[in-house]
Amino acid sequence: MKALTLKLDEKQFSKYFKAFGDLSRLRIIGLLAAKDMTVNEIVAQVDLTQSTVSRHLGVLREAEVVVDRREGQQVVYSLNKGTVENCCDSFCCCLDVKDEKPAKSKKKR
């Protein structure tokens, strides 16, 4: 077994798993993967209140999964694709599974 060099520490992994560990946050991530959005645009796409969406965005910002920028009176959120890629790459490296093809399961007849 080869030695692993992680790009992230355990504390950062914990933040990522908290961010990715909620279905509503995963839905928000999916929306932001397609395009940058304001809180109100996200609320219109999900069945959540504005305060709940804002709370979820706070968790995603804390984990650096999303970033925000001000455009006039609006705050626009976007997916931090570099951070998400780094998380996925580091986690796959940690498990030593990157670029491996899943084993085919034999179906019982």
For the stretch 6-60, pLDDT in tens is 455 677 777 777 888 889 999 999 999 999 999 999 999 999 999 999 999 999 9
> What does the pLDDT read at residue 19?
83
Q: Where are the domains of the chain?
A: 10-95
pTM over 0.85: no
56 within 8 A of 50, measured Cβ to Cβ: no
77 within 8 A of 46, measured Cβ to Cβ: no
pLDDT at 99 over 60: no
CATH number belonging to the domain at 10-95, selected among 2.40.50.100, 4.10.220.20, 3.80.10.10, 1.10.10.10: 1.10.10.10
pLDDT at 102 over 80: no
Q: Kindly state the greatest CA–CA separation across the chain.
A: 62
